[in-house]
Amino acid sequence: MNNILTKSVWRMRNKDDFKAGQEVNAALIPTGGTSYQLYVPSGGCHNACIFCNYGFNHPVRREKILKRVEHICKFLPRNVETLILESSGSFLDDREFSEDLQYQIMGIVARTNVYRVQIETHYKTVTYEKVKKILEILSGHVVAFEFGLESANDATLSIYNKDIDVGKLYQVVLNCNNLGIETSLNVMVGAPLLTIKEQVQDTLDTVKHILRGCPENTAIVLFPLNIKDYTLVKHLYNQGRYSAISHWEFIEVLEKIPRNVLDRIYISWWGNRYNEFHGKKAIIHPKSCEKCHNQLMDFYSKFVNAKSVEEKQKLVEKISMVSCECRDDYEKEKESQKIDKDIWQRLAEEEKKLIDEFDL
């Protein structure tokens, strides 16, 4: 991880811990379509990705959590197909809460009739022993793992301060696949310090990289970067060095992905999610104008619910035809951006500013 970015993130977290690291209980959060997230508070991620606000330490009250999870699972909405197990970091990280509590929660979930149980976790937390135990507890359900990749490009990963080795992550994906576990990889759109064209290209290159390097049933989940409170990205935004991406950029990515692989593409956090524990205003979504906003939201929700590649193709073709002033503005901004420094130089300059701003 980058030393300066990591220190800056922890300076922010330590400053805001009293606001963001409150005691919260387990909760059920709709994430779009038939997917719901079962959030369980934890000791917080020890990594320091610049876009993420999961690093806060929430007290883990075992009995309270188990009681709440029991209640949630008893009254699940009828349409739940996928239940995503999520903590304030990685669900399988024993640092965040004990292995025993992880299995007890899975045991409660195992008694529901949800089709798929998806576990969001860092690939480094997955071991063969854990996988065997999980498959045993959740037998009768489809088991899936969701991993953060964000980008397959080294420079972009450094900007995100993402602590992963892409080759090792793909090996874990392959091992899971061989054991009958479904996998999905999260990919971000909108890295700071990149121009719009570079951001789009970075995502397209990453999609191509996954298609080449992972089993063919690995799902790819695209996220436009949301600017969340208590993140370094929010600091960059406050300093005028980052702004929310346009919805039209996200649409451009979807348009440029080869149509025949759209069945493997899913989307998340397109403007339908809030920071449940940090207040509704603690997040800045991708931007568009009021005239096209409803059309975009309609597109996203239909895309999420689409059942076939043909349906997704038609939806993408339809939204591509929409014209709007804010789309023209997006195109103009994209064409006007010119930076003559390479990405590593830009990162080095950013580090100097952060040293100054955070007094490192």
Q: Would you tell me which residues interact with Zn ion (CB under 5 A)?
A: 288-289, 291-292, 324, 326
Q: Checking DSSP bridges between strand 283-284 and strand 227-228, what pairing results, if any?
A: antiparallel
- 45 touches which of Zn ion, ligand SF4, none (CB within 5 to 8 A by kind)? ligand SF4
- Cα angle 329-318-306, degrees, rounded to a multiple of 5: 120
User: d(Cα 334, Cα 103) in Å, to the nearest integer?
Assistant: 48
Beta-strand runs (E) in 40-195 = 82-86, 116-120, 142-150, 182-189
- Strand order of the β-sheet with 265-267 is 27-32, 35-39, 82-86, 116-120, 142-150, 182-189, 219-224, 265-267
In angstroms, what is the minimal distance from the CB of 51 to ligand SF4?
Answer: 7
Between 35 and 88, whose beta carbon lies closer to ligand SF4? 88
Residue 266 · residue 221 · CB < 8 Å? yes
- 326 touches which of ligand SF4, Zn ion, none (CB within 5 to 8 A by kind)? Zn ion
Residue 260 · residue 308 · CB < 8 Å? no
Between 202 and 252, whose beta carbon lies closer to ligand SF4? 202
Q: How many CB atoms lie within 10 A of CB 98?
A: 12
In angstroms, what is the minimal distance from the CB of 13 to ligand SF4?
Answer: 10
Q: How many CB atoms lie within 10 A of CB 97?
A: 22
The DSSP code sequence of 77-98 is: -TT--EEEEE-SS-TT-TTTS-
- 292 touches which of Zn ion, ligand SF4, none (CB within 5 to 8 A by kind)? Zn ion
- 324 touches which of Zn ion, ligand SF4, none (CB within 5 to 8 A by kind)? Zn ion
Place of tokens 């903590």: 87
- 286 touches which of Zn ion, ligand SF4, none (CB within 5 to 8 A by kind)? none
**Residue 17: both structure tokens together:** 């811990």
In angstroms, what is the minimal distance from the CB of 194 to ligand SF4?
Answer: 18
- 148 touches which of Zn ion, ligand SF4, none (CB within 5 to 8 A by kind)? ligand SF4
- 289 touches which of ligand SF4, Zn ion, none (CB within 5 to 8 A by kind)? Zn ion
- 231 touches which of Zn ion, ligand SF4, none (CB within 5 to 8 A by kind)? none
In angstroms, what is the minimal distance from the CB of 298 to ligand SF4?
Answer: 29
In angstroms, what is the minimal distance from the CB of 91 to ligand SF4?
Answer: 10
Between 45 and 138, whose beta carbon lies closer to ligand SF4? 45
Between 28 and 49, whose beta carbon lies closer to ligand SF4? 49
| Cross-strand pairs, 145 | 119, 183
| Cross-strand pairs, 28 | 38
In angstroms, what is the minimal distance from the CB of 290 to Zn ion?
Answer: 7
Between 113 and 323, whose beta carbon lies closer to Zn ion? 323
**Smallest Cα–Cα separation from 258: which of 222, 309, 304, 296?**
309
Name the burial class of residue 295, with classes exposed (0-12), middle (13-18) and buried (19+) by CB atoms within 10 angstroms of its CB. Answer: middle
Between 168 and 332, whose beta carbon lies closer to Zn ion? 332
| Cross-strand pairs, 1 | none
In angstroms, what is the minimal distance from the CB of 299 to Zn ion?
Answer: 13
Q: Which residues are at the interface with ligand SF4 (CB under 6 A)?
A: 45, 47, 49, 52, 54-55, 89, 122, 148
Between 291 and 352, whose beta carbon lies closer to Zn ion? 291
In angstroms, what is the minimal distance from the CB of 121 to ligand SF4?
Answer: 9
Between 231 and 288, whose beta carbon lies closer to ligand SF4? 231
